[in-house]
Amino acid sequence: MYEAYWGLSEKPFENTADPKFLYYSRQHEEAFTRLTYAIQEEKGAAVLSGVFGCGKTLLAQAVLQSLSKGRYETAFIINPYLSHTELLREILYGLGIRDNLPSQKSDILHSLSEVLHNNMDNGKQTVVIIDEAHLIEDKLIFEELRLLLNFQYRNKFLLTLILLGQPELKEKINNIKQFQQRVAIKYHLGALSEPESAEYVNYRLRTAGGGKKIFDDKSLKMIYGQSGGIPRRINQICDMALLTGFGQRKEILGEETIMEVVKDLEG
């Protein structure tokens, strides 16, 4: 709606997992490197934690997009709020088994073993990513995930498991020692700094085709103060600021626009 007015080719602040909009702060770059390492070196499990809206899902999607095509089979589980058997079936479904999904746990594990070994025989590595893993309440699920890491061949894991979740995920895993011992890589994403927050805004504008200054320095400072450096919150504020500025025919957005938007968002 406002794109043409601001000289943009698309909306820059959508809260969707489009890897081209991932801004690589120092922390995001480090997290990207660690997850990529876990996959390429065939580690058993990795954990990426961070507060809601800090970019965990987007970063994981970017990692998957960067992997060599035809070399990996991946399953991205977005709803872990399942029983342990249902989650195993969801993983099997994500890995391409769509017809005649088994319902008995023993049959599911047999099918998973077959898929993992077939992938290995075809020169492919298997990657399973579970988003919102902090929602897992049943300790049996962590036990089932640990048992999946028993699928090995010549001391190599047949799959790499990556868990994404809010900070409480770390505590849950630390309380399950047998699973914790299988986690080779851990990283926690924090909020952006004030300079990173400003660069984040400008990066997303450039990625969306913007070439002119839209937010002045005071507005960028206020965006950081009101968002706490959390990308999802920055997106909400900036999207509404662009809409408000369009409606008011502003040429550049200042702190008064940000104040108005924040007031509206807080309702």
Q: Identify which of 153, 223, 219 has the alpha carbon closest to the alpha carbon of residue 191.
A: 223
Q: Give the per-residue pLDDT at 155.
A: 85
One digit per residue, pLDDT tens: the chain, 267 residues?
A: 999 999 999 999 999 989 999 999 999 999 999 999 999 999 999 999 999 999 999 999 999 999 988 899 999 999 888 898 999 999 999 999 988 889 999 999 999 999 999 999 999 999 999 999 999 988 899 999 999 999 999 888 999 999 999 999 999 999 999 999 999 999 999 999 999 999 999 999 999 999 999 999 999 999 999 999 999 999 999 999 999 999 999 999 999 999 999 999 997
Running DSSP on this structure, what letter comes out for residue 23? -
Domain match, 161 and 210 both = no
The residue segments making up the domain with residue 228 are 192-266
Alpha helices in 175-214 (DSSP H): 177-180, 194-207
Same-domain status, 119 and 201: no
Q: Are residues 94 and 137 in the same domain?
A: yes
What does the alpha-carbon distance between residue 38 and residue 186 come to, in Å, rounded to a whole number? Answer: 10
Is 17 in contact with 61 (CB distance < 8 Å)? Answer: yes
The radius of gyration computed from the CA coordinates of the chain, to the nearest angstrom, equals: 21
Count how many domains the chain has. 2
Q: Say yes or no: 183 and 200 in one domain.
A: no
Which residues, 6+ apart, have CB-to-CB distance to 197 below 8 Å? 220, 223, 224, 227, 229, 234
Q: Are residues 170 and 233 in the same domain?
A: no
For residue 265, the model assigns a pLDDT of 94
Number of H helices, E strands in the chain: 11, 7
What is residue 108's three-state secondary structure? helix
Q: Which of 121, 109, 132 is nearest to 17 (CA)?
A: 132
Looking at the fold, whether 156 and 256 belong to one and the same domain comes out as no
Same domain membership, residue 153 and residue 39? yes
Task: Answer yes or no: do 129 and 183 share one domain.
Answer: yes
Same domain, 150 and 178: yes
Q: Which two tokens stand for residue 33?
A: 């490197």
- Per-residue pLDDT, 61: 96
Q: Which residue in 212, 199, 202 sits closest to 250, CA to CA?
A: 212
Q: Where are the strands (E) in the chain, listed by range?
A: 45-50, 72-77, 125-130, 152-153, 156-157, 159-165, 183-189
Q: What is the CATH number of the domain that holds 239?
A: 1.10.8.60
Q: Are strands 156-157 and 152-153 parallel, antiparallel or unpaired?
A: antiparallel
Q: The CATH number of the domain where 177 resides is what?
A: 3.40.50.300
